Amino acid sequence: MPSTYKAAALAGALALAGTLLAVAPAQADTKPTSAPKGDGAKAICKRLPKTQEHVGAALTRLNGDATVTGSVARLEQRVANAKSAGHAEIQTLLNDRLTHRKSLLTTLQTRQNDLKAVASWCATQPGAPAQAK
């Protein structure tokens, strides 16, 4: 091996060793975090409007018609198209995705109802913003 290759290999090995030494102390200093001292209600109430917005947008998309990307109806149409084309493997894959998407719809509807109850609770708390009341 020519000496330039040896020098390059040595430089690479030294760089790798330096990187490993620099990373190891940072990882060694990590300490376990303590257990939560509260339930995070203040932060939940603060994020509530944005959370409601996200859940509402997801439900709107999932409940959309076949022209809406990400909707249950669109995925049902794709399953039907795969079936009519005789693509059994694609139909199975899409059908599994459809099952998951329908369960997601149920989960998000439950979450939306839970968020309404949380909004009512947050509005009764001292220092609640005027819009939450």
Does a structural domain hold residue 26? no
Enter the pTM of the model: 0.66
Does a structural domain hold residue 25? no
Does a structural domain hold residue 17? no
Does a structural domain hold residue 95? yes
Average pLDDT over residues 41-56: 95
**Residues spanned by the domain of 85:** 39-132
Distances from the Cα of 74 to the Cα of 57, 84, 87, angstroms: 17, 15, 17
Does a structural domain hold residue 71? yes
What distance separates the 2 farthest-apart alpha carbons in the chain?
78
Does a structural domain hold residue 7? no
| Residue 28 Cα to chain centre, angstroms | 29
Q: pLDDT grade, residue 59 (50/70/90)?
A: very high
Token code pair at residue 42: 């203040």
Does a structural domain hold residue 29? no
Q: pLDDT grade, residue 74 (50/70/90)?
A: very high
Q: How many CB atoms lie within 10 A of CB 72?
A: 19
| Span 78-129, pLDDT tens digits | 999 999 999 999 999 999 999 999 999 999 999 999 999 999 999 998 876 6
pLDDT in the model for residue 4? 67
Does a structural domain hold residue 88? yes
Nearest Cα neighbor of 111 from 66, 59, 65, 76 is 59
What is the total count of domains within the chain?
Answer: 1
